[in-house]
Amino acid sequence: MFHFECPPMPHFVQIGEDTYQPGRKHPDRSSIGVFDLLFVTEGCLYLAEGENELTLPAGFFGILRPDLDHHTVIPCREETHFYWLHFQTTGQWHPEPYDKEPLPPEQEPLYPPIEYFSFYLPRSGPVQSLGRGEELFRELLHLYENPTGNSRWQEQQLFHAILLKLQEDSKGETTQSSHLQLAEDAALYLRKHYRDPLSYKRMAEELHFHANYIALCMKRTFGCTPLDYVTQYRIEQAKRLLIHTNDPVGAIAEDTGFGSFPYFVRCFHKRTGKTPKQFRMLYRQSKPPAPAT
């Protein structure tokens, strides 16, 4: 699995297609500086990245890293057609999922201007609905070869649709990503039920995994426990209400699942360094003086 920290999202660079006759080899390359996405529709490619072999039969995709050497293991044994697509990112990426460490509370911004998230992409896997997959690649190739005034924008949108399809098609195909999926499912559950008291038993029954394993998966993926995750999410919802409504702080504490007013104030201050009232005043504009009569 590749782990991309977004934004920025990975961006499309170029695309092409090729057909190899039996005996032809994919060219050997060294640190080409872009990710190389290969999608085989007929035949088979026999590649290796470093010492790791990557066999791509028809209906499979594979992604080669921008910073490693790759070469052909054996030439094609039959006529082989494939699309190749280069993409890159100016953001942080990792060759595998890693255990994230959360920022200390005193370093967390009061109201982050950017909402960062992780995007995971398998190194290889099957493309379900081969016809639909080829349709997406062919449409992107047509845009690339026939540019218009806004084709670059359309290319990026179509490229992201391809990445999403590859991610969705590969779910369940590798055990390596199982902890990622469970962590995402747990995070979704917590966001849906953030107004309710956190019940590990109920969460375990809903997700069909032991609570300790769920907590371990969230720690590996998000760098925090379920309680830390839902607390931070509640605080983000409270920030929104403090800025955009005139609701009393006590009502906001109850509406965002904190239960008691003192606990809400304590958690909010620990995470932001401000009380809810102080935070609200930061984003409140002074009313203009009333006109003289």
Helix (H/G/I), strand (E/B), else coil: 200:
helix
What pLDDT does residue 288 have?
A: 47
What pLDDT does residue 175 have?
A: 43
Helices 261-272 and 226-244 pack at an angle, to 10 degrees, of 90
Contacts of 195 (CB under 8 A, 6+ apart): 255, 256, 257
What pLDDT does residue 292 have?
A: 52
The alpha carbon dihedral of 128, 131, 134, 135 has a sign of: negative
Contacts of 111 (CB under 8 A, 6+ apart): 239, 243, 283
DSSP of 135-171? HHHHHHHHHHHS--TTHHHHHHHHHHHHHHHHHHHTT
What pLDDT does residue 10 have?
A: 96
- Please, are residues 234 and 254 in contact by the beta-carbon 8 Å criterion? no
Helix, strand, coil percentages in the chain from 3-state DSSP, rounded to 5: 40, 20, 35
What pLDDT does residue 105 have?
A: 53
- Please, are residues 220 and 183 in contact by the beta-carbon 8 Å criterion? yes
What pLDDT does residue 100 have?
A: 57
Give the residue carrying structure tokens 């969230």.
218
Q: Of 107, 100, 159, 127, which Cα lies nearest the Cα of 39?
A: 127
- Measured CA to CA, the distance from residue 110 to residue 242 in angstroms comes to 12
Contacts of 251 (CB under 8 A, 6+ apart): none
- Measured CA to CA, the distance from residue 44 to residue 79 in angstroms comes to 8
| Beta pairing, strands 29-30 & 11-20 | unpaired
| Regions of the chain with pLDDT less than 70 | 97-115, 171-177, 285-293
Query: Cα 75 to chain center, whole Å?
Result: 35
> Tens of pLDDT along 208-266?
999 999 998 888 878 789 999 999 999 999 998 998 899 999 999 999 999 889 999 99
- Measured CA to CA, the distance from residue 166 to residue 255 in angstroms comes to 38
Six-digit token pair at 223?
């760098």
What pLDDT does residue 282 have?
A: 84
Burial of 138 (0-12, 13-18, 19+ CB in 10 A): middle
